[in-house]
C-alpha cells in the first residue's frame, strides 16, 4: 500500500519505479470503494485513469476534491439535491492547477449541503462517518475530504473553509487541515457560500505535504480578483527555518482549566490538559507562549456575528439555484411555481432555515441592528487579534473543546450556549488569517487537534511553526484503520 504514505514517500517510490501512477490510482479507488459502504466519503469515485505529465512533486499523486469545486464533465453536486445531476462546463482554478501539476483526481467528496453545516450529516447522499469510530461524526462541512485522508485513501484532499469547515473535521479526523490567507488560493469555480469568508484549503497527514500542495495552488488568478500576487516563496523551503523565540498567545477565557472548575465534561477537561501539556513541550523547543485576556462579551459575539454574516451572504449567493437553467425541474404552471417547487424539494431543512435567517438579516429594517452590527463585531475582533499580532507571531488554541461527537449529540441547530472553544476559528475567516490544525493527541481513543493562526499573508511562517510543532505533538502521518466493508 502506497497511498497511505506521505507525498515524499510516494514520490520516491514513483521515481524509483516501484509503483506507477496508474497503480496508485487503482490502489486509491479500490480502497475508496472498499470503505465507501461504511464511511461514505465520496459522492463520485472516478474509474478512468488519466496519464499525467506534470513537472512537480505532485505528478501522478492521487488526491480527492470536495464536491463543491467545479470539475468540467465530472458530476459536481455540492451534496445538494438541487444540483444532484449538475455537470460543470468549466474547471475551478484549484483543480486546473492540480491537473497541470500532474496530480490525479480519484473522486469528489461529500460535504454538508452547499458547505453550510458542521456535522457532515446533511449531504443528499447520506452521512459521513468518522474513520476512528463509525458511531461518531467527523464534522464538516468538508467531511468526506477529511475522512478520505484520515482513512489513507489519498495523501491529500482539498476542502473549503468558511467558519472552520476544514480545520474542525481535520481535528476530529486526526489529520492536518490548513486554511491559508484569504486570497492565497483562487476561489474561482468554488461554489460560493459566503464570499467574504470562503477559503480554499487542504487536508494532509503531515505539514510538509500541506506545503507541497499549497505551493502548487497559490498565486494570483485573473478569474478571482481577490487573489494575492504570488510571493515567489516556496513554503516547503521555509519549513526548516528557526522558530526559537517565536511568540504565541492563547485566549485565557477559553483555555484556562480553572474557568471550567464546575464542568463535569471529562473530554473537555482532558482536551485542555492535553493542550497545556503540549504547550509545555513546545516551550522546550523554543516557543514563547502565554495566555492573554480578551473581553468575554466580544468572544461571545463571534458566533452570532458569524451566523449573521454567513447566512446573509449565502442567501444571496444561492439565489441562482432555481431548477430552470440547471438542476431538477420543479413542477408547476408558471415559472414562479416551477422555481418554488424546485427549491422546496431541492434544499434540505438546515439550509432553508439558514436562508430565511439570511433574508431576514438583509431586510432594510433589520440591516443596521443585525447585518451592520455583525460587521462591527467582525472588525472589533479582527482589530484585537491584529493588535496582539504586533507582539505575538501567532495564536495557538485547542481546535475544539472535545472529541468528535456521537451522531445525534451535535446538531447544527443554533444554541444559546456560548461555546468559545467551539467557535473561535471563525476569527481566521473574519480576518483572512492563515490557520492550521495539527493532530495533538487522543482523548478516549479519538484524535484531537491544536490550531495555530498567524498574521495575514504569513502562510510560510505559520507552516514553518506548524512543521516544528508537529515533531513534538507526535501524531505525524497517522492513519485511521477503518473497518472494512462487511
Partner 1 sequence: MITKEKLKDYAGKLMFDMDDKEYETLQQEFEIILKQMDLIEKMEGIKEVEPMTFPFPLTHVKWRKDEVTEELTKEEILQNTEAIDKDQVRVPKVVE
Enumerate residues 214-233 that contact partner 1 by CB under 8 A: 222, 225-226, 228-229
* Cell numbers given for 322: 432555481
Cα–Cα distance measured from residue 311 to residue 299, given in angstroms and rounded to the nearest whole number: 19
CB-wise, 258 or 416, nearer to partner 1? 416
Contacts with partner 1 by CB under 8 A: the residue count is 74
Tell me the closest approach of the beta carbon of residue 344 to partner 1, in angstroms. Answer: 4
Check: CB of residue 482 under 8 Å from CB of residue 295. no
Q: Which of 477, 406, 439, 450 is nearest to 130 (CA)?
A: 406
**Is 165 one of the annotated active-site residues of the chain?**
yes
Q: Which helix (H) or strand (E) holds 44?
A: strand 42-45
Q: Which of 258, 213, 272, 198 is nearest to 62 (CA)?
A: 213
DSSP, res 244: T
Site for partner 1 in 319-358 (CB under 8 A): 322-329, 332-336, 338-340, 343-344, 347, 349, 352-353, 355-357
Stretch that binds partner 1, among 87-95, 241-249, 272-280, 473-481 (CB under 8 A): 87-95
**Is 316 one of the annotated active-site residues of the chain?**
no
Cα–Cα distance measured from residue 173 to residue 463, given in angstroms and rounded to the nearest whole number: 20
Tell me the closest approach of the beta carbon of residue 459 to partner 1, in angstroms. Answer: 14
Check: CB of residue 443 under 8 Å from CB of residue 94. no
CB-wise, 49 or 86, nearer to partner 1? 86
Site for partner 1 in 164-223 (CB under 8 A): 182-183, 196-197, 222
Chosen residue from 260, 360, 407, 442 binding partner 1 by CB under 8 A: 360
Check: CB of residue 137 under 8 Å from CB of residue 128. yes
Catalytic residue among 6, 31, 41, 66: 66
Tell me the closest approach of the beta carbon of residue 297 to partner 1, in angstroms. Answer: 6
Q: Which of 64, 76, 137 is nearest to 107 (CA)?
A: 64
**Strand 199-204 with 435-443, pairing:** unpaired
Site for partner 1 in 289-318 (CB under 8 A): 297-298, 300-301, 303-305, 307-308, 315
Tell me the closest approach of the beta carbon of residue 336 to partner 1, in angstroms. Answer: 7
Site for partner 1 in 49-68 (CB under 8 A): none
Length of the chain: 486
CB-wise, 36 or 373, nearer to partner 1? 373
Catalytic residue among 160, 165, 310, 435: 165
* Cell numbers given for 360: 431576514
Chosen residue from 380, 388, 472, 478 binding partner 1 by CB under 8 A: 380
* Cell numbers given for 70: 467545479
Tell me the closest approach of the beta carbon of residue 330 to partner 1, in angstroms. Answer: 10
- Report the SS3 class of residue 221: strand
Tell me the closest approach of the beta carbon of residue 257 to partner 1, in angstroms. Answer: 26
Chosen residue from 38, 127, 382, 472 binding partner 1 by CB under 8 A: 382
Catalytic residue among 6, 79, 80, 141: 141
Alpha helix stretches (DSSP H) within 125-262: 143-150, 167-173, 207-217, 235-238, 252-255
**Is 415 one of the annotated active-site residues of the chain?**
no
Cα–Cα distance measured from residue 51 to residue 156, given in angstroms and rounded to the nearest whole number: 19
Amino acid at each position: 500500500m502506497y497511498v497511505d504514505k506521505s507525498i515524499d514517500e510516494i514520490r520516491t517510490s514513483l521515481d524509483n519505479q516501484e509503483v506507477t501512477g496508474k497503480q496508485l490510482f487503482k490502489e486509491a479507488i479500490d480502497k475508496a470503494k472498499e470503505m465507501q459502504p461504511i464511511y461514505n466519503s465520496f459522492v463520485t469515485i472516478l474509474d478512468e485513469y488519466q496519464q499525467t505529465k506534470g513537472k512537480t512533486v505532485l505528478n501522478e499523486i492521487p488526491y480527492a476534491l470536495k464536491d463543491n469545486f467545479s470539475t468540467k464533465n465530472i458530476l459536481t453536486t455540492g451534496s445538494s439535491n438541487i444540483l444532484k445531476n449538475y455537470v460543470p462546463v468549466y474547471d475551478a482554478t484549484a483543480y486546473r492547477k492540480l491537473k497541470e501539476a500532474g496530480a490525479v483526481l480519484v473522486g469528489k467528496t461529500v460535504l454538508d449541503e452547499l458547505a453550510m453545516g458542521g456535522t457532515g450529516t446533511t449531504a443528499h447522499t447520506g452521512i459521513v462517518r468518522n474513520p476512528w469510530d463509525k458511531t461518531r461524526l467527523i464534522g464538516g462541512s468538508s467531511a468526506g475530504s477529511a475522512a478520505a485522508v484520515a482513512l489513507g485513501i489519498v495523501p491529500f484532499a482539498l476542502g473549503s473553509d468558511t467558519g472552520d469547515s476544514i480545520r474542525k473535521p481535520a481535528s476530529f479526523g486526526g489529520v492536518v487541515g490548513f486554511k491559508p490567507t484569504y486570497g492565497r488560493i483562487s476561489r474561482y469555480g468554488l461554489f460560493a457560500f459566503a464570499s467574504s469568508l470562503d477559503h480554499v484549503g487542504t487536508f494532509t497527514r503531515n505539514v510538509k505535504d500541506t506545503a507541497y500542495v499549497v505551493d502548487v495552488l497559490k498565486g494570483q488568478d485573473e478569474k478571482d480578483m481577490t487573489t494575492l500576487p504570488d510571493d515567489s516563496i516556496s513554503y516547503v523551503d521555509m519549513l526548516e527555518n528557526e522558530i526559537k523565540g517565536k511568540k504565541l498567545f492563547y485566549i485565557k477565557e477559553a483555555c484556562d482549566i480553572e474557568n471550567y472548575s464546575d464542568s463535569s465534561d471529562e473530554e473537555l477537561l482532558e482536551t485542555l490538559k492535553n493542550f497545556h501539556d503540549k504547550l509545555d513541550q513546545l516551550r522546550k523547543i523554543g516557543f514563547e507562549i502565554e495566555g492573554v485576556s480578551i473581553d468575554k462579551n466580544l468572544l461571545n459575539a463571534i458566533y452570532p456575528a458569524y451566523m449573521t454574516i454567513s447566512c446573509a451572504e449565502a442567501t444571496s449567493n444561492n439565489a441562482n439555484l432555481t431548477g430552470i437553467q440547471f438542476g431538477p425541474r420543479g413542477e408547476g404552471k408558471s415559472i414562479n411555481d416551477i422555481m418554488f417547487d424546485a427549491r422546496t424539494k431541492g434544499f434540505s431543512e438546515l439550509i432553508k432555515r439558514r436562508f430565511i435567517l439570511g433574508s431576514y438579516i438583509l431586510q432594510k429594517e433589520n440591516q443596521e441592528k443585525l447585518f451592520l452590527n455583525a460587521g462591527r463585531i467582525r472588525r472589533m475582533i479582527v482589530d484585537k487579534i491584529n493588535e496582539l499580532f504586533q507582539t505575538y507571531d501567532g495564536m495557538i488554541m485547542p481546535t475544539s473543546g472535545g472529541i468528535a461527537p456521537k451522531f445525534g449529540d451535535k446538531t447544527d441547530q443554533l444554541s444559546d450556549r456560548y461555546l468559545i472553544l467551539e467557535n473561535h476559528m471563525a476569527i481566521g475567516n473574519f480576518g483572512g488569517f492563515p490557520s492550521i490544525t495539527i493532530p495533538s493527541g487522543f482523548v478516549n481513543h479519538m484524535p484531537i487537534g491544536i490550531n495555530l493562526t498567524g498574521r495575514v499573508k504569513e502562510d510560510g511562517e505559520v507552516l514553518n511553526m506548524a512543521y516544528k510543532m508537529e515533531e513534538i505533538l507526535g501524531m505525524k502521518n497517522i492513519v485511521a484503520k477503518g473497518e472494512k466493508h462487511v
